[in-house]
């Protein structure tokens, strides 16, 4: 039998949105602006989830996985997102966005290789690509807020 008892989340260090509300609102506004400019909610959900997986942001994983399900994303794709390269579930455009997401998220070690950027540029217009980069940048910033302050999802 499996033990389903939950353990308390680590204590949140600071209520960032309450203490720095203008900064937090502007981060959210940047994210919305980039998503609107990209105009593809499926890509937005995948980008937000993959960056949050890489950064280990439990709060963002909870929020964005629920958002993806609300937007009609299939559970099989969500369950295999961490291994997207090994599945047949993602389109070439989605794969290009995921590869760019990983490269930008891990920028200190990847330096965003030309082949990754060039592949994304094949699938996204220049404007879409700029907004995709904006989304990747803002989810990484939001992940750093979540991880840095130890935000955790609300118990269900």
Full set of structural domains in the chain with CATH: 21-149 (1.20.1290.10)
Question: Mean pLDDT across the stretch 69-82?
Answer: 95
State phi, psi for 58 to the nearest 5 degrees.
-60, -40
pLDDT at 126 > cutoff 90: yes
Question: Mean pLDDT across the stretch 102-107?
Answer: 98
pLDDT at 1 > cutoff 60: no
Residue carrying the six token digits 């369950």 = 79
Can you tell me the distance from the alpha carbon of 19 to that of 150, in angstroms, rounded to the nearest whole number?
15
pLDDT at 132 > cutoff 90: yes
What pTM, to 2 d.p., does this model score? 0.93
Reported confidence tier of residue 2, pLDDT bands at 50, 70, 90? low
């Amino acid at each position: 039998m499996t033990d389903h008892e939950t353990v308390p989340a680590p204590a949140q260090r600071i209520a960032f949105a309450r203490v720095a509300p203008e900064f937090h609102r502007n981060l959210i506004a940047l994210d919305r602006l980039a998503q609107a400019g990209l105009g593809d909610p499926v890509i937005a959900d995948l980008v937000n989830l993959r960056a949050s997986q890489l950064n280990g942001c439990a709060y963002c994983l909870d929020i964005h996985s629920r958002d993806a399900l609300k937007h009609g994303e299939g559970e099989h794709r969500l369950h295999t997102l961490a291994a997207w390269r090994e599945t047949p579930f993602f389109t070439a455009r989605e794969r290009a966005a995921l590869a760019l997401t990983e490269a930008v998220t891990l920028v200190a070690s990847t330096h965003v290789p030309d082949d990754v950027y060039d592949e994304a540029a094949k699938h996204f217009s220049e404007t879409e690509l700029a907004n995709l980069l904006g989304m990747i940048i803002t989810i990484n910033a939001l992940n750093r807020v979540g991880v840095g302050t130890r935000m955790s999802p609300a118990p269900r």
